[in-house]
Copies of this chain bind each other. A is one copy, B any other.
Amino acid sequence: MVATAAIVLAAGQGTRMRSRIPKVLHPLAGRPMIEHVLASLAAAGIEHPVVVIGFGADQVEAGLAGRVPTVRQEPQLGTADAVRRGMERVPTEARHVLVTMGDVPLLPAELFQRLLREQAEGEATIALLAASVDDPAGYGRVVRGADGAARAIVEHRGADEATRAGNEVNVGTYCFDATWLRANVGNVPASASGEYYLTDLVEVAAAGGRRVAVVSAPEAGLTIGINDRSAMAQADATLRARIISEHQRNGVTIVDPATTFIDAGVEIGQDARIEPFSILAGSTVIAQDAVIGPRAEIRDCRIGPRTRVWASVVEGSTVAEDVQIGPYSHVRPGCQIGPRCEIGDHAELKNATLGAGTRQHHFSYLGDSEVGERVNIGAGTITANYDGERKHRTVIGDGAFIGVDTLLRAPVTVGAGARTGAGAVVTRDVAPGKTVVGMPARPIELRRRRAELAAERNPQHGGGTPRPDA
């Protein structure tokens, strides 16, 4: 077992981003750019990643949250200097050291592995990654010898005509023999600006008679570096297309890939169907045969088989099978929605549990609630769960019928099979099977008796017995 390390260079500011946020923290497909680099390195089996930080170091450290060692480069004296600092955190047992850029987020694990193999098995001191591009202006050119090995990397501005004619450019990703790197990274000559460039190590190695292998990227698009917001949008699109292709191969229908946004890490079952204008974010799992969208936004949820989420937002919740949600509903975090429930349109839930077959209709809000099975929540029903200081719970039993525009002032319990009249303001618990009406809501028998008594006292007013509201 040979130990491998990686140094990710993430010290630069990226001035063309015109941002106060460190470049490597800008998100792509739902994750900071650098996380894509670290994920590819992990997938390639690299054991010891180190991130070299500089600009916005506190923010970057906070963003990485201790999941990977960091080292600060201060002052920032070029890429060779950054690697020299990174080597301080690379364990001495590491035999191969990948070096790559934190703002080159699309390199797949396979390319890192190829660099490792070329360096290790090809007996090269360095293996560098090259790309053939249509317009190489501005890039460092890879200069090869007759044997195909690299002799040097020549910056565009220092290149002669013949070298500029080449279109094989340096990506900035290498695998080094660790011992050689440790011994030589400090030997790079300073540039005119006083910085030390990693690219010069290629000439150092070649001049010392060592082999520098070249690995060609299969497509230049994979090697894109994020220098501005436009490149960032392109990389985001590439990542999303890659994610969508994978779901398609797994048997998911994506009606329109161009208007579907799926974060890395989302899981989707076979024969699920994702309609246009939908966003699946965070650690979301969609079961088979679900229909998502159009216009669904789902974040950190589990969605059950055959469930449909239509033109709604669902966050941090678990939704069982055969549920209908939407349109224009909002399931906020902490909900558990049972099988065959109907939510909406225009319904809102927060921190609520709904039993199987419960229906919650239009313009209703259930917050901090436990609702049983087969409950009917009438239109306009609202749980008053907040008294200005604390949140209180509402409990509704199986088979209850909550009339339209019912107001439930928590804490309150409505028993199984109970009914509330339309417009009832429920301020006290309702016993199972009972019907309450009015404001404040009281049992219907009591209301009736009061009305009869009043009629006896004032017979001219008639009054009339209210029927049970529905």
Binding site for B on A (CB under 8 A): 17-21, 26, 228-230, 232-233, 236-237, 245, 247-259, 261, 270-271, 276-277, 279, 294-295, 297, 311, 313, 327-328, 330, 345-346, 348, 362-363, 365, 376, 378-380, 382, 384, 386-388, 401, 403-405, 407, 409, 419, 422-423, 425, 427-428, 438-440, 446, 449-450, 453, 458, 461, 464, 466-467, 469-470
Contacts and interface: CB of A to CB of B under 8 A. Distances in A.
Given A229-B252, A249-B229, A470 B261 contact: no
Contacts of A466: 427, 440
Contacts of A376: 386, 388
A345 B332 CA distance: 10
Give the oligomeric copy count.
Answer: 3
Nearest to A297: B294
A157 to B, nearest CB: 23
A345 B470 CA distance: 26
17 contacts: A20-B271, A230-B245, A233-B248, A233-B254, A259-B259, A295-B295, A346-B363, A363-B363, A363-B365, A363-B380, A363-B382, A376-B386, A382-B404, A404-B407, A407-B422, A409-B470, A428-B464
B469 A427 contact: yes
A17 B446 CA distance: 64
Nearest to A270: B18
A119 to B, nearest CB: 33
A403 B407 CA distance: 11
A461 B450 contact: yes
Contacts of A247: 229
A261 B233 CA distance: 15
Which 10 A-B pairs give the minimum distances between C-beta atoms?
A18-B251, A387-B470, A229-B248, A384-B404, A423-B425, A384-B422, A230-B248, A330-B345, A379-B382, A363-B363
A26 B251 CA distance: 12
A18 B288 CA distance: 12
Contacts of A294: 261, 279, 297
Contacts of A348: 345-346, 362-363
A206 to B, nearest CB: 38
A297 B255 CA distance: 16
Contact of A261 (B230, B276, B409, B423): B276
A132 B322 CA distance: 46
Main SS of the interface on chain A? loop
Given A233-B255, A346-B363, 15 more contacts: A18-B251, A18-B270, A19-B251, A228-B249, A229-B251, A258-B259, A261-B276, A328-B346, A363-B382, A384-B403, A386-B470, A405-B405, A407-B422, A409-B422, A427-B466
Contacts of A17: 251
Contacts of A230: 245, 248-249
Nearest to A294: B279
Contacts of A229: 247-249, 251-254
B327 A311 contact: no
A236 B254 CA distance: 10
Contacts of A327: 297, 313, 330
A427 B467 CA distance: 8
Contacts of A271: 19-21
Nearest to A449: B461
B404 A405 contact: no
A330 B294 CA distance: 14
A18 B248 CA distance: 9
Given A19-B270, A311-B313, A327-B313, A469 B422 contact: no
Contacts of A365: 362-363, 379-380
Contact of A228 (B248, B295, B382, B440): B248
A401 B379 contact: no
B313 A388 contact: no
A256 B251 contact: no
A428 B464 CA distance: 10
Contacts of A404: 382, 384, 407
Contacts of A461: 446, 449-450
